[in-house]
Amino acid sequence: LFAQNCDFIMGSPVLDNLPPADLGEIAFAGRSNVGKSSLINALTGRKTLARTSNTPGRTQMLNFFLLGKREELALYLVDLPGYGYAKVSRSLVNQWTRLMKDYLRGRPNLRRVYVLVDSRHGLKEGDRDIMKLMDESAVSYQIILTKVDKLKKGEQEKVREATEQAIKKNVAAHPEVILTSSVKGDGVDELRASIAALAAS
Ligand code: GDP
């Protein structure tokens, strides 16, 4: 699944024109600056796959990539638009919410959404909003803590425990959180294994 190039398929600001739901799909969500582009790049071994440091307020896109080979094992990987920018307008927030609702309800092939959360900050309002949307639309998701290289081992375990405790009542949440660092490589193999299991299922 991760042996070959991960090709960019398309970016779309709307749901009309997405790739056919002919393969399993996983998606990555998170607040802006959480480290989403860096983690997708670390995962796929490419440096230019996802552009880092997106501009707040630019067109919100669903970016589709192909992981693996169609004739063997493959999945769509979707980079969802970041949320939680301090300065975006109400109308842009509404646009994001509409797009997310439609996407989460409109992709029957969606196997899991990985919700990235900065390990130093824990769950924030925007994270809870998207988790609520997924609980309501029965879309399975898993929390990924990012940038754990910024924390000591003991602190990492504390935030893992606190996060697993906090999501206990979220019906569609996977009970285990994954700790990652794109800089040090922590958790990347664990995340790949999790994705590979979804591709095979
Ligand atoms: P995105 O907006 O969610 O796509 O976030 P980026 O991948 O662009 O990362 C935002 C910032 O966090 C950049 O300055 C990255 O260099 C930094 N960053 C991303 N991942 C890590 C990580 O694992 N560890 C550390 N220390 N910094 C990271």
Could you read off the pLDDT of 105-128 as tens digits, one per residue?
Answer: 999 999 999 999 999 999 999 999
Q: Which atom of ligand 1 is nearest to the CA of 30?
A: 3
Q: What SS3 state is found at 31? A: strand
Is the ipTM value over 0.95, yes or no? yes
Left (φ > 0), alpha (ψ -120 to 50) or beta: where does 22 sit?
Answer: alpha
Contact 30 CB / ligand 1 (< 6 Å): yes
Atom of ligand 1 nearest to the CA of 146: 23
Q: Is the pTM here over 0.90, yes or no?
A: yes
Residue with CA nearest ligand 1 atom 8: 52
The reply to whether ligand 1 has any atom less than 6 angstroms from the CB of 183 is yes
41 close to 6: Cβ distance less than 8 angstroms? no
What domains sit in the chain, N to C, each tagged with a CATH number?
Answer: 7-200 (3.40.50.300)
